[in-house]
């Protein structure tokens, strides 16, 4: 298993759990990269960095979106 351990000692299976790069996160959430940064700063979007790349745990990110009404609503918030 190829894993990454973050600063909180949480392990990620890099082949299945990791969403790597702002473009991949944007595609999954329906948000653009600027909106991703806003949500991360103001609303606790669960993203982190590996080097210069934004990353997310796929399961945690999808749970976060569901707790806020889902992907469609996140994309609609982008237009506000």
Domains with residue ranges and CATH for the chain? 19-78 (1.10.10)
Q: What is the pLDDT of residues 61-73, one digit of tens each?
A: 888 888 887 655 5
Query: Strand, coil or helix: what is 70?
Result: coil
Q: What is the pLDDT of residues 20-65, one digit of tens each?
A: 888 888 888 888 878 888 888 888 889 988 899 889 999 888 888 8
What is the reported pTM? Answer: 0.65
φ, ψ dihedrals at 6, nearest 5°: -85, -175
Report the alpha-carbon distance of residue 39 to residue 68 in Å, rounded: 11
- Selection from 6, 66, 65 nearest residue 35 by Cα: 65
Q: How many helices (H) and strands (E) does the chain have?
A: 4, 5
């Amino acid at each position: 298993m190829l894993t990454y351990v973050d600063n909180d000692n949480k392990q990620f299976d890099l082949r299945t759990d990791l969403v790597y790069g702002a473009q991949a996160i944007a595609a999954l959430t329906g948000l653009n990269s600027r909106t991703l940064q806003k949500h991360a700063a103001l609303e606790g979007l669960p993203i982190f960095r590996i080097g210069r790349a934004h990353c997310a745990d796929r399961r945690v990110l999808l749970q976060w979106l569901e707790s806020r009404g889902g992907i469609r609503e996140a994309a609609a918030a982008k237009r506000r």
